[in-house]
Structure formats: structure tokens, C-alpha cells
Structure 1
């Protein structure tokens, strides 16, 4: 009778064990993948930042030779500086990020949460500076 009960209980124990959720390693891998996905998305914008910076600088140079309103040139320079800061914040995050391979689970999870917040802030900064730079460029771009 005890063997029958054990045999009937075994499948339930296996099913219950399988539904316990992700392991610590899976949790860490998932969070680390999320951090890297935000990083990869931000990296995709680096080319846009470089192009916009070049376009704004060219426009500022062109307007400067035409004796254009200095306020417009100053606004272009501010946007160029904003793009440079966004670029540098991304480079800074990448220089400082270290994969948490040697940390205990709780330490790794805390570290990854902090890095996620940092890279999300970098991404937000990049997005807002790109939008502002595009807007100012479109307002003043040369009409052919």
C-alpha cells in the first residue's frame, strides 16, 4: 500500500517541482539579457548621433559664414554638445560595466538591477538628445 501511494505521489511531486519557477541562474541570465538588450538598442543609435552631430556642425559652419543670427548658431552648438554628452555617457557605461560572473546570486541581481537603471537612463538621454537635434536640424536645414 505504501508503494502504491509513493508511486501515485511521485508524478505530483515531479510536476510540483517543475512549476517552482526559474532557477537563480535563469533569473540572472534573464536580467543580464535585458540589460544587454537595452545596451544593444542604445548602441544602434550611436550612428544616428554621429550623423546628427556632423550635420549640425556643418549647418553651424555654413550659417556662421553667412553671418546668421548668433542665437541660432548657439542653439546648434548646444545640441552638438548634447549629442556629445549622450555619446560619452554610453561610452562611460560600457567602460564601467563588468559582467557579474564572479558575484553571488543576490549581489549579481542587485548589480544588474543597478546597471539596468543606468543603461535605461543612458538610452533615455540618447533618445531625447537625438529628438532635439533632429528637430533643430529640420528647422534650420538648408533648402535645396
Structure 2
């Protein structure tokens, strides 16, 4: 009787063990989707960086023509440099990112976890840089 029970139960156990494939694929797809959502949000902010950088360059050039003090011009250049750095951080992440299509599940999950942390860092850098630049730009606009 025990042999028959083992023969009946064993195929069910094997089938249950094989069912991890779709769940693993779903996990991986969800994690990759999370990475891409943050990436897409950060990409949308690239336009803000471009506009702010253009505004600061224009303001710097105008003030330089008016022979503004060096400290003001250096502060504006610092903002431009920080916007450039935020832009570059995003570009570096995009150049280095590669979809983990050829990796095994565990390797892909580890890779995606690392990439999630990296893109979250990129997003934080971009957000803080944009916010600081907006505040600085607003101060100069109020001085006009």
C-alpha cells in the first residue's frame, strides 16, 4: 500500500516542483518593470535638466556681460556643473544597463536588484540637483 501511495504522490510532488518557472519569470518581469518605471521617470526629468542648464547659461552669460562679481558667476557655473553631472549619471547608467535576458533566474534577480539600487540613486541625484537648481534660479529671478 505504501508503494502505491508513493507512486501516486511522487508525480504530484515533481509537478509542484516544476511550477516555480512561471512564478520566477513573473518575479523577474516585475522587478525589471520596477527598474524601468524609475528609469522612465528619470528620463522625463532630463528635459528639466536641459531647460535649467540652458537658463543658467543664459543668466551667467548675461551677468558676465554686465561684469557681475566673480562669486555670482562661479555659483552659476557650479549649478551648471551639477546639472551636467546629474545628466551624466543618468547617461552612464543607461550605457551600462543591459536586460538580463541571458542570465539564470537567480543571477538575473541579483543583477536587477543591483540595477534597481543604482537607478534609485540616479533618481535621487537628479531630483536633488533639479530642486536645488530651481531654488537657485528662483532666487535670481526674484532679484531682477
Interval containing the TM-score (normalised by the shorter chain)? 0.7 to 0.9
Residue equivalent to 2:106: 106
- What is the TM-score normalised by the length of structure 2? 0.83
> Cα RMSD (Å) of the superposition?
1.9
For 1:141 and 1:74, the matched residues in 2 are separated by 17
Which runs of 4 or more aligned residues in structure 1 lie more than 6 Å from their structure 2 counterparts after TM superposition? none
- What is the TM-score normalised by the length of structure 1? 0.83
Residue equivalent to 1:119: 119
Normalized per residue, the structure richer in helix is 2
8 Å contact kept, 1:35–1:119: yes
Deviations 1:76-115 (A, max 9, x none): 1001000001001101100110000000000000000000
CA shift, 1:143, in A, is 6.5
CA shift, 1:30, in A, is 0.3
8 Å contact kept, 1:53–1:80: yes
Residue equivalent to 2:138: 138
8 Å contact kept, 1:59–1:141: no
Residue equivalent to 2:38: 38
CA shift, 1:73, in A, is 1.1
For 2:92 and 2:104, the matched residues in 1 are separated by 25
8 Å contact kept, 1:56–1:80: yes
Residue equivalent to 2:7: none
What 5-or-longer segments of structure 1 have no aligned partner? 1-12
For 1:93 and 1:108, the matched residues in 2 are separated by 17
Aligned length: 127
For 2:142 and 2:132, the matched residues in 1 are separated by 18
Q: Does 1:48 align with 2:48?
A: yes
